Amino acid sequence: DAGVTQSPTHLIKTRGQQVTLRCSPKSGHDTVSWYQQALGQGPQFIFQYYEEEERQRGNFPDRFSGHQFPNYSSELNVNALLLGDSALYLCASSFGTGTFNQPQHFGDGTRLSIL
């Protein structure tokens, strides 16, 4: 039973570029949430996708966008990268929309470095 998988594991970009991160949820899960974790900090909620729509969003600018596909996998896109976007980006899956009252299964994350 595959857990949550994220790709790539590491990525280096320069300021102003665009990046796409990918997440495949745990088998049987239909909801994907994305988080940003700066070094030494707890994760911050970016947004959640269910039924191919963004259902909830944290306090992140429009440069952060996403998509969910019919197979429940998801992408996180960040445009016009800033140095402050350097972080570990975590994906978590669960079953059922808006249900942070369900256990969240996390991937190992994508470490994004902006030069």
Q: What gap in Å lies between CA 71 and CA 79, rounded to an integer?
A: 25
- For residue 11, state whether it binds other proteins (rule: CB under 8 A): no
DSSP strand pairing (64-68 vs 74-78): antiparallel
Least separation in angstroms between residue 16's CB and other proteins is 26
Site string for other proteins, 31-70 (x = CB under 8 A): --x-x-x--xxxxxx-xx------xxxxx-----------
Binding residues for other proteins, rule: CB under 8 A, are 33, 35, 37, 40-45, 47-48, 55-59, 88, 90, 92, 100-109, 111
